Chains A and B, each alone.
Chain A
Amino acid sequence: DAKTTQPTSMDCAEGRAANLPCNHSTISGNEYVYWYRQIHSQGPQYIIHGLKNNETNEMASLIITEDRKSSTLILPHATLRDTAVYYCIAWKTSYDKVIFGPGTSLSVIP
């Protein structure tokens, strides 16, 4: 699985969009970009994933660059409950283990 690089921490004002970047310059053609988050010590929560195209669901949007070397997770209207560690994972999804890095600690500020 390709290595991903994320900022250690970010702040976002409540109600504003949170844009979380991720670099995955060595990603291979069959690896998806997955995002999970972990609120305090709860179980990791699946957010969204994509291969090439941008994706949107009820939680977030995922923007993947055309060369697939980086992506951005967008939480359109961040709330205090979005304060969490966000993990970007490049993953073949062949039912393999998920390898979690340190992620980005997002703090949503009132």
Chain B
Amino acid sequence: EPEVTQTPSHQVTQMGQEVILRCVPISNHLYFYWYRQILGQKVEFLVSFYNNEISEKSEIFDDQFSVERPDGSNFTLKIRSTKLEDSAMYFCASSFRETQYFGPGTRLLVL
């Protein structure tokens, strides 16, 4: 069964550094999403992406964040200058129609 994959599974970075989280959505899917989950808290929506542009973004998704679909298979989330509070699990999701399928996540730790 097709799955959403994410790399790396774990990322440790220093505050102020840039990180890029990578996702490979399910191949025929058209809609792409990023969510995050701070330890012990709810899963929160960050951004949705369709037809090579952002469809919707949350208040969390400020100018430090960007997304890109650089080729036909990858979907990336970039954090330009990481802060301590960016430490979280980041989940990518994709959908063809309604149902979103989530990847296993990247655990980001900012020191």
Contact = CB atoms under 8 A, between A and B. Distances in A.
Interface of A: 32, 34, 36, 38, 41-46, 49, 91, 93-102
Contact of B104 (A43, A94, A101): A43
- The SS class assigned to the B binding surface is strand
B6 to A, nearest CB: 8
B89 A41 contact: yes
A44 B89 contact: no
Interface residues of B, number: 28
A99 B39 CA distance: 17
Nearest to A34: B99
A96 B56 contact: yes
Contacts of A43: 4, 91, 93, 102-105
Given A41-B37, A43-B105, A44-B91, A98 B100 contact: yes
A102 B42 contact: yes
A99 B33 CA distance: 12
B75 interface: no
Given A95-B31, A100-B42, A102-B42, A45 B102 contact: yes
Given A99-B45, A102-B42, A44 B50 contact: no
A3 B105 CA distance: 26
A41 B37 CA distance: 9
Nearest to A38: B43
